[in-house]
């Protein structure tokens, strides 16, 4: 791929841990030049997070490595006048400033939106926070689990006996980062027409509620609160997790024709004549009975065998895999989803990092360099700032 959509876009990244770094990682994959501004001697907290204590002590924890390939790192103390002056110089040449401090922190450091707009009228300033920059909860601290609980997400996760349950990965951080990346791209597109910058106030809570989709909208329309249903799909049956000979199998026979095909393949056409299973609504009312009948037949073959047979017949079905299994899937390998890079510490180890899940003109987007060591580009900061400012002045002139 010779050119990416955000080639030439300059991103000043003041974020840490996940929501912000995930956002800037997506922007980097799209071609942006991302410079992380990190606290001297400490850096992004994610540098100390992950299951490998040695990497954490070295400041390249697994959590950091996952979301920071392809970026640069400079150390700047924003509590020091010289540091604030250095940031001002970088802001003048940036296209995007991204931060995920608690609401108002950057303003108290002297870089609120009015000041940033004064320094750079075309700047896209994106602030990610738990609850947004305004409102009665704007000053409350928030992590992913706090948002999962408050958004209602945990109330519909798990079974009636087990709920509320946390989703097994930081989904609210991820969704917040994706929302931020989407709106940054939209703001850059708008700026190409108007020449004006934008202040983006991203609320992780609101992004999470938006992502819950039907769980929220169905209640607002029907007045019926959603309930946790474990691995079952409330909208259809049979649609959920079933028992193959060697483990769990997901089947989503959401359409009548898919249900009929499933019964044919299982040799259970008797189910088609049972009034309890005649149509979608009847099957939903008698879900447990239907599941028992299907499980008795599905236990005859392995999950992989059913995945192949049912999929070939047009019935959505797939094994339930573990993380070690999914990262070795032939499908992901075929699509080039993972990229191999050298570890930043020069140890010779190979680092695998994830892509975006989108091919551009048939090619995956890949980082070109490993995640940076803390302050790795400190010596390049002045040259980088000069280059950014020259590019910004050229854009204004043109």
Q: What is the 3-state secondary structure (H, E, C) of the chain?
A: CCCCCCCCCEEEECCCCCHHHHHHHHHHHCCCEEEEEECCCCCCHHHHCCCCHHHHHCCCCHHHHHHCCCCEEEECCCCCHHHHHHHHHHHHHCCEEEECCCCCHHHHCCCCHHHHHHHCCCCEEEEEECCCCCCCCCCCCCCHHHHHHHCCCHHHCCCCCCCCCCCCCCHHHHHHHHHHHHHHHHHHHHHHHHCCCEEEEEEHHHHHHHHCCHHHHHHHHHCCCCCCCCCCCCCCCCEEEEEECCEEEEEECCCHHHHHHHHHHHCCHHHHHCHHHCCHHHHHHCHHHHHHHHHHHHCCCCHHHHHHHHHHCCCCEEECCCHHHHCCCHHHHHHCCEEEEECCCCCCCEEEEECCCCEECCEECCCCCCCCCCCCCHHHHHHHHHHHHHHHHHHHHC
Round to whole Å and give the CA distance between 206 and 217.
14
| Residues whose CB is less than 8 angstroms from the CB of residue 386 and which lie 6 or more positions away in sequence, other chains included | none
The end-to-end CA distance of the chain, in Å, is 26
* Helices 381-397 and 81-93, packing angle to 10 deg: 40
Round to whole Å and give the CA distance between 286 and 230.
16
Residues with catalytic roles? 173
Distances (CA, A) of 350 to 3, 96, 274, 341, 343: 27, 31, 56, 6, 6
Round to whole Å and give the CA distance between 133 and 135.
7
């Amino acid at each position: 791929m010779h050119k990416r959509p955000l080639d030439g876009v300059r991103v000043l990244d003041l974020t840490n841990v996940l929501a912000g770094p995930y956002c800037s990682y997506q922007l980097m994959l799209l071609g942006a030049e991302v410079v992380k501004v990190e606290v001297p001697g400490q850096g992004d907290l994610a540098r100390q997070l992950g299951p490998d204590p040695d990497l954490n002590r070295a400041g390249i924890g697994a959590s950091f490595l996952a979301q920071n390939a392809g970026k640069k790192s400079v150390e700047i103390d924003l509590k020091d006048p010289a540091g604030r002056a250095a940031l001002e110089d970088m802001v003048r040449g940036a296209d995007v400033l991204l931060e995920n401090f608690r609401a108002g922190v950057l303003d108290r450091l002297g870089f609120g939106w009015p000041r940033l707009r004064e320094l750079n009228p075309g700047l896209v300033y994106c602030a990610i926070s738990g609850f947004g920059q305004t409102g009665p909860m704007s000053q409350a601290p928030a992590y992913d689990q706090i948002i999962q609980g408050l958004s209602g997400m945990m109330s519909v996760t798990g079974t009636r006996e087990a709920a509320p349950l946390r989703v097994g990965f930081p989904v609210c951080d991820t969704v917040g980062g994706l929302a931020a990346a989407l709106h940054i791209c939209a703001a850059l597109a708008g700026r190409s027409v108007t020449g004006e910058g934008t202040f983006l106030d991203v609320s992780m809570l609101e992004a999470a509620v938006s992502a819950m989709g039907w769980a929220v909208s169905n209640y607002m329309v029907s007045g019926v609160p959603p309930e946790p249903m474990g691995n079952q799909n409330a909208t259809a049956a049979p649609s959920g997790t079933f028992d193959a000979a060697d483990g769990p199998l997901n089947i989503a026979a959401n359409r009548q024709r898919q249900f009929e095909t499933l019964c044919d393949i299982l040799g259970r056409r008797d189910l088609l004549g049972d009034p309890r299973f005649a149509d979608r609504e009847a099957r939903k009312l008698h879900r447990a009975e239907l599941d028992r009948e299907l499980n008795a037949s599905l236990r005859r073959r392995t999950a992989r065998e059913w995945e192949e047979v049912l999929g070939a017949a047009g019935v959505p079905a797939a094994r339930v895999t573990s993380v070690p299994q999914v990262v070795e899937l032939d499908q992901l390998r075929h699509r080039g989803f993972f990229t191999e890079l050298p570890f930043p510490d020069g140890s010779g180890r190979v680092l695998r990092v994830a892509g975006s899940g989108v091919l551009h003109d048939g090619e995956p987007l890949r980082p070109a360099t490993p995640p940076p060591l803390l302050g790795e580009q400190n010596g390049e900061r002045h040259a980088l700032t000069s280059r950014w400012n020259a590019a910004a002045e050229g854009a204004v002139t043109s």
